[in-house]
């Protein structure tokens, strides 16, 4: 019988990497069980939400016992495709792009930036953090040669859409967009948008208008 892959709500799916990272730490410190209250404190998600999230994948914590760390870890590993390496390309080797190339994403995830692209002749042909930088002219050919399915965009906003249009023609399935540009893509491609300036501004706004409660002594 053909089993449908399990669908979990998107909000739950977004919290999985957070849970996964914390459980990995627990596992390496030798802990076998964890309560939803402990998890809640560590990942700053309320325990009712955690219990509901975990119930989607059949992990039913027992009162006074908590959750089995090994069971949860192996579930997350499968769900988050941690056993399979996702190859990533980075486009735009400026300040932000360079920082990402030097950052070891493999530490926590099974994702690896395999190649980078730029139009600046001073950057093309170099290696940053072991990642080769190729010219944009080669992008279609290079992406085709390797199984790259995710692209990180750290280019100036005004060139983001034309570059995205080229990516759409390739095997790229997901784009992590760090430019302020809102990009048009067909529904077969998923875009996550991270605008660091907007995030910072929003944090400052919240601090001003919704001050956090003072910790009681």
Using CB under 6 A as the criterion, which residues of the chain lie in contact with ligand ATP when the complex forms? 91-97, 117-120, 123, 136, 155-156, 159, 163
Closest separation between CB of residue 15 and ligand ATP, Å?
A: 31
Least CB distance to ligand ATP at residue 154 (A):
6
The residue (of 43 and 136) whose beta carbon lies closer to ligand ATP is: 136
Least distance from ligand ATP to the Cβ atom of residue 153, Å: 9
Of the pair 136, 189, the CB lying nearest ligand ATP is at: 136
The answer to the question of whether 61 is labelled as a binding residue is: no
* Cα end-to-end span (Å), the chain: 59
Cβ 166 to ligand ATP, closest distance in Å? Answer: 9
By Cβ distance, which residue is nearest to ligand ATP? 94
Which CB sits closer to ligand ATP, 53 or 114?
114
92 is in an annotated binding site: yes
Does residue 58 have a known ligand-binding role?
Answer: no
**Cβ-based neighbour number of residue 51 at 10 Å:** 16
Least distance (Å) from ligand ATP to the CB of residue 119?
Answer: 4
Q: Which is nearer to ligand ATP, 20 or 117 (CB)?
A: 117
Q: Is 10 or 95 the residue whose CB approaches ligand ATP more closely?
A: 95
Residues 6 or more apart in contact with residue 200 via CB below 8 angstroms: none
- Residue 94 is labelled as binding a ligand: yes
Count the neighbouring beta carbons within 10 Å of the beta carbon of residue 30. 7
Extract the tokens encoding 37.
């209250």
Residue 96 annotated as binding site: yes
For the stretch 42-46, contacts whose Cβ atoms lie closer than 8 Å and that sit 24 or more positions apart, written own/partner, are: 43/15, 43/18, 43/19, 45/15, 45/18
Q: Which residues are annotated as a binding site for NAD(+)?
A: 92-97
Which residues participate in the annotated binding site?
A: 92-97
């Amino acid at each position: 019988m053909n089993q449908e892959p399990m669908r979990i709500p998107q909000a739950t799916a977004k919290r999985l990497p957070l849970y996964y990272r914390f459980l990995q730490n627990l596992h390496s410190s030798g802990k076998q069980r964890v309560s939803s209250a402990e998890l809640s404190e560590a990942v700053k998600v309320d325990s009712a939400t955690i219990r509901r999230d975990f119930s989607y994948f059949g992990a039913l914590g027992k009162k006074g016992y908590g959750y089995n760390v090994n069971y949860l870890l192996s579930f997350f590993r499968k769900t988050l495709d941690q056993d399979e390496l996702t190859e990533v390309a980075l486009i735009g080797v400026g300040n932000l792009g360079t920082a990402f190339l030097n950052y070891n994403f493999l530490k926590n995830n099974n994702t690896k930036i395999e190649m980078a692209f730029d139009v600046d002749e001073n950057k093309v042909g170099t290696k940053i953090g072991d990642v080769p930088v190729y010219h944009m002219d080669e992008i279609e050919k290079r992406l085709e040669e390797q199984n790259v399915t995710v692209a990180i965009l750290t280019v100036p906003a005004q060139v983001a859409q034309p570059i995205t249009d080229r990516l759409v023609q390739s095997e790229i399935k997901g784009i992590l967009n760090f430019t302020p540009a809102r990009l048009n893509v067909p529904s077969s491609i998923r875009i996550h948008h991270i605008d660091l300036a907007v995030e910072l501004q929003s944090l400052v706004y919240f601090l001003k208008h919704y001050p956090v409660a003072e910790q009681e002594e």
